[in-house]
Amino acid sequence: SPSQGYYTRRGGVGESGDFITSPEISQVFGELIGVWYISEWMAMGKPSALQLVELGPGRGTLTEDILRVFKQLSSVLSKCDVSVHLVEVSPKLSEIQAVLLTGGKVQPSPEDESAYMKGISKTGIPIFWYRDIQDVPPGYSFYLAHEFFDALPIHKFQRTEKGWREVLVDIDPQVPDQLRFVLSPSRTPATQNFIQPEETRDHVEVCPEAGVIVQRLASRIEKDGGAALVADYGHDGTKTDTFRGFRNHQLHDVLSAPGTADLTADVDFSYLRKMAQGKTATLGPIKQREFLKNMGIDLRLQVLLQNSGDTATREQLLHSYDMLMNPEKMGDCFNFFALLPHHRLVHPDKKDKPQSKSPLPPVAGFNELLLK
């Protein structure tokens, strides 16, 4: 809701807010994602321009960490024209992003431009803000969606003896100002459109908006090249009832005080894969701890520990590593998933001349790290 929605009114990402995310826990998280993009950019033949497009950038921390890596590797990227494109609906969060990334030096764009705001990052890279992925100009792009898809609205369905019914929200007739869940008395358009014929679960959550966005990402990657990295908590088409709310870092009843708590549902990666519809190849989901390990988090931690003199910093580094990697914490429930052009994984003419080409470089993060 543009006026009463959680992200337009509150949007409390971070320690002082309602929930904490990996980039807010450790700088290493964003740095390794930055390395992933550079590695893919090199594997795809170093195109002369790249757009980094982040969906739902929160406080802007992840983009800031990635841009720091781009700056550190500026000799590698020197011939590449880099720009940043942020898709953000929250006025409050876009302001926080602008301060963090540009020092507040932004200007609103004229009405006839697709971006609503623009500025220059502290590292000298142009940044643009949009409300919708469709407004981002076409071009070779690396997309990033971290804890974005889980924030989009879902439909819930329950299998009954009479067939699939949609779970709807109703006003409790007995208690004023109280919402309750009810089952639709008959089939709804959503039950007819969103349940897959081969579905075996009894309760299903579907996020059609996520499906539409993945279709758009897949079309854009197929046409203009690039890749998308999606990281979120989720499952591969196995979980049922995951809809929940968070407020002040505590679980919160999803039906009470709407608009004041973060509402979230696990991302169904099997659905996202289906929505890519063969336009792109997909990799994952792979557990966060495996992805980060494959990206070299252990080496990065060692370097940071060696460079930090005081005990408090070292303890903080170890604590944040544990938060990201421990299977009981974020290591197992968070997953990484990627969309890549087909030719990134298979040579287009491989079938005809299997021996004629050198092997394609493996995609970092999704393969075990081999140190030479």
Cβ 202 vs Cβ 240: under 8 Å: yes
Task: Using CB positions, name the residue nearest to ligand SAH.
Answer: 56
Shortest distance, position 195 Cβ to ligand SAH, whole Å: 23
Shortest distance, position 61 Cβ to ligand SAH, whole Å: 6
Binding site for ligand SAH (CB under 6 A): 7, 11, 13, 21, 23-24, 56-58, 62, 87-90, 93, 146-148, 151-152
Which tokens is 140 given? 């070779």
72, HSE (Cβ side, Cα atoms, 13 Å): 11
Q: Based on CB atoms, which residue is closest to ligand SAH, 54 or 290?
A: 54
Cβ 56 vs Cβ 149: under 8 Å: no
Shortest distance, position 2 Cβ to ligand SAH, whole Å: 10
Q: Based on CB atoms, which residue is closest to ligand SAH, 154 or 195?
A: 154
Q: How many residues does the chain have?
A: 372
Distance CA 337, CA 20 (A): 21
Q: Where are the alpha helices (DSSP H) in the chain?
A: 6-9, 22-25, 27-43, 61-72, 74-77, 91-102, 189-194, 208-224, 269-276, 288-294, 297-307, 311-325, 342-345
Cβ 127 vs Cβ 120: under 8 Å: yes
Shortest distance, position 57 Cβ to ligand SAH, whole Å: 6
By C-alpha distance, which of 282, 259, 294 is closest to 369?
A: 294
Q: Based on CB atoms, which residue is closest to ligand SAH, 20 or 369?
A: 20
Shortest distance, position 249 Cβ to ligand SAH, whole Å: 14
Q: Based on CB atoms, which residue is closest to ligand SAH, 232 or 290?
A: 232
Which CA distances in Å does 218 have to 48, 151, 340? Answer: 21, 20, 8
Q: What are phi and psi of 287, to 5 degrees?
A: -60, 145
Q: Based on CB atoms, which residue is closest to ligand SAH, 93 or 221?
A: 93
Shortest distance, position 236 Cβ to ligand SAH, whole Å: 21
Which CA distances in Å does 92 have to 86, 89, 98? Answer: 14, 9, 10
Shortest distance, position 370 Cβ to ligand SAH, whole Å: 29
Q: Based on CB atoms, which residue is closest to ligand SAH, 21 or 282?
A: 21
86 Cβ contact list (under 8 Å, min separation 6): 53, 54, 57, 60, 63, 94, 97, 127, 128, 129, 130
Shortest distance, position 212 Cβ to ligand SAH, whole Å: 11
DSSP line for 194-258:
HS-TT---SEEEE-HHHHHHHHHHHHHHHHH-EEEEEEEEEESS------EEEETTEEE-TTSST
Shortest distance, position 334 Cβ to ligand SAH, whole Å: 11
Q: Based on CB atoms, which residue is closest to ligand SAH, 151 or 254?
A: 151
Give me the numbers of helices (H) and strands (E) for the chain, helices first please.
Answer: 13, 17
Q: Based on CB atoms, which residue is closest to ligand SAH, 59 or 165?
A: 59
Shortest distance, position 67 Cβ to ligand SAH, whole Å: 15
Q: Based on CB atoms, which residue is closest to ligand SAH, 23 or 341?
A: 23
Q: Based on CB atoms, which residue is closest to ligand SAH, 92 or 159?
A: 92
Element (H, E) at 259: none
Distance CA 167, CA 183 (A): 5
